Amino acid sequence: MASLEKDLIMSEIKYEESSPEAHALQRKAHRLIPGGAHTYAKGDDQFPESAPPFMVRGKGCHAWDSDGNEFIEYGMGLRAITLGHAFEPVVQAATRQMHLGINFTRPATIEVEAAEKLLGLIGGAEMVKFAKNGSDVTTAAVKLARAYTNRDLIAICGDQPFFSTDDWFMGAGEMNSGIPKSISEMTLSFHYNDLGSLIELFDRHPGQIACVVMEAEAAVRPSAGYLQQVKNLCEQHGALLIFDEMITGFRWHLGGAQEFHGVVPHLSTFGKGLGNGFAISALAGKRDIMRLGGLDHEHPRVFLLSTTHGAETHALAAAIASMDTYVERGVIEVLWRQGELLQKQVDRSINEYRLNGYFEVLGRPCNLIYATRDPNREPSQAYRTLFMQEMIRRGVIGPSFVVSYAHSDSDIQRTAEVVHEALAIYRKALDEGVEKYLQGRPVKPVNRRFN
């Protein structure tokens, strides 16, 4: 085992404590903003107390806090920044369009261009509607499925963390205050890779389930034939299959996880990497379903997606530039390669410090996360906090190991060195007690009933 001398480990520490000014701004944020942040996953309860309270700029995979400290960043805007912060071709495309105007009384020609571009990549889709957030389009997909099937119930994969901020999803979780029970009861849950749990739902609610909403893959890979079996089951029972491709889209494959796995859903939703951080999302699907939100049918009209800012032209320009970059530069292949490079080096450190079963890297190389466990090998938020704390002290912000196109070999190498040092502390905490090394309170899950 490598030496665990404290002076060796401390030698690489770059970041100790935020300035009084940063903490004052943090207190002000909590007075003005519920939770102190506009996105729960970025909140103070999700990071160690020693984490920088605010970031002010980024370039590539590097970001700077309000005190001027520089960090290598992972996760990159909740996986939205696939190409890197301030990626010039995307910024330039959006800027050019902004000078031409961003919102008009009639549709802009760029709406057609963006639709054609996306549908050219998503092989099983025939029509698309754009919006701003993932929740916009997943909720629209559910509404469309209910209208198409004339049914009310929704089946969601309960092992996957998040699909929407709207009532149909939030009502089924712990953080459901303010959502009517009648709405919560219309959302049912099944387990991933457990076809029997979905069959049981269809058997218990015959002719009532409008759709199955799931990610084709998250941290756990689908078992052989599972996704096709889910689709077959949906069609057998007259329900629609909806793939949430917010994360998998523009990471697994240019055509999404549906193309990667060879299973085409009836509807699918995209966002995040679609615009490299610009606010844009998309609902794509089969024409006979999507047309219910249009003008060329005799069925009852569906108020599908009609938002003031849904087709802002600069966001569409950013999406077009992002998609062009994916195609021209082989971005997906880079994500897989860099993730694999990082995983190999982290696994070496895990083996060296005898952390197998205590710290684990999970997921595909293009979308790596990690699991932290205590001395009893039970999931532990305290050990997660400790690991992030030690990473941050050495100049890496890593709530995950999700890479971007901007993560160079040198960034990966530096990260691997930091992980090695952080895992040395992790090993000591397992042997001597986490409370000896953890500063402040542990992080908490976002979706919990009480603070």
pLDDT value, residue 336: 98
pLDDT value, residue 3: 40
Q: Is the pLDDT of residue 13 over 80?
A: no
**Residues 290 and 394 reside in one and the same domain:** no
H/E stretch holding 269 reads strand 267-270
The pair of structure tokens assigned to 240 is: 């629609």
**Residues 206 and 254 reside in one and the same domain:** yes
**Residues 72 and 187 reside in one and the same domain:** no
CA distances from 230 to 143, 189, 202 (A): 20, 14, 11
Instruction: Say which CATH number the domain at 371 has.
Output: 3.90.1150.10
410-450: pLDDT as tens digits: 999 999 999 999 999 999 999 999 999 999 999 998 888 88
The pair of structure tokens assigned to 319 is: 């999406």
**Residues 232 and 307 reside in one and the same domain:** yes
**Residues 304 and 338 reside in one and the same domain:** no
Q: Tell me whether strands 153-157 and 209-214 are parallel, antiparallel or unpaired.
A: parallel
What ranges in 100-253 are assigned the alpha helix state H?
Answer: 109-121, 134-149, 167-170, 181-184, 195-204, 226-236
CA distances from 174 to 61, 69, 178, 222, 445 (A): 34, 36, 12, 26, 10
Are 390 and 14 in contact, with CB atoms under 8 Å apart?
Answer: no
287-322: pLDDT as tens digits: 999 999 999 898 998 999 999 999 999 999 999 999
**Residues 70 and 123 reside in one and the same domain:** no
Boundary residue ending a domain (311, 345, 370):
311
- Segment 71-97 shows an average pLDDT of 97
* Distance from the Cα of residue 317 to its chain's centroid: 22
Helix, strand, coil in percent for the chain, rounding step 5: 45, 15, 40
Please report whether residue 91 resides in a domain: no
**Residues 149 and 274 reside in one and the same domain:** yes
How many domains does one find in the chain?
A: 2
97-143: pLDDT as tens digits: 999 999 999 999 999 999 999 999 998 899 999 999 999 999 999 99
Are 192 and 225 in contact, with CB atoms under 8 Å apart?
Answer: no
| Residue of 450, 343, 357 whose CA lies nearest to 407 | 343
Q: How many angstroms separate the CA atoms of 428 and 382, rounded?
A: 14
CA distances from 439 to 21, 42, 399 (A): 21, 19, 17
**Residues 272 and 359 reside in one and the same domain:** no
Please report whether residue 26 resides in a domain: yes
pLDDT value, residue 33: 93
The DSSP output letter for 306 is: -
Please report whether residue 320 resides in a domain: no
Q: Is the pTM of this model over 0.85?
A: yes
Please report whether residue 442 resides in a domain: no
**Residues 306 and 338 reside in one and the same domain:** no
Look at 17 and 346; give whichever has higher pLDDT.
346
Q: Which of 11-25, 60-74, 386-400 has the lowest mean pLDDT?
A: 11-25
The pair of structure tokens assigned to 210 is: 């409008």
Boundary residue ending a domain (251, 277, 311):
311
Please report whether residue 410 resides in a domain: yes
Instruction: Say which CATH number the domain at 141 has.
Output: 3.40.640.10
CA distances from 138 to 72, 87, 295 (A): 32, 27, 21
**Residues 286 and 417 reside in one and the same domain:** no
Q: Is the pLDDT of residue 183 over 60?
A: yes
The pair of structure tokens assigned to 214 is: 């799931």
Q: How many angstroms separate the CA atoms of 375 and 379, rounded?
A: 10
**Residues 110 and 75 reside in one and the same domain:** no
φ/ψ of residue 295, rounded to 5: -115, -5
Query: How far from each other are the two terminal CA atoms of the chain, in whole angstroms?
Result: 40
The residues, ordered by sequence, that sit 6+ positions from 236 with a Cβ below 8 Å of its Cβ are none
**Residues 151 and 240 reside in one and the same domain:** yes
Please report whether residue 318 resides in a domain: no
Q: Which domain holds residue 109?
A: 103-311
Boundary residue ending a domain (261, 280, 311):
311
Please report whether residue 316 resides in a domain: no
Please report whether residue 326 resides in a domain: no
162-177: pLDDT as tens digits: 999 888 989 888 888 9
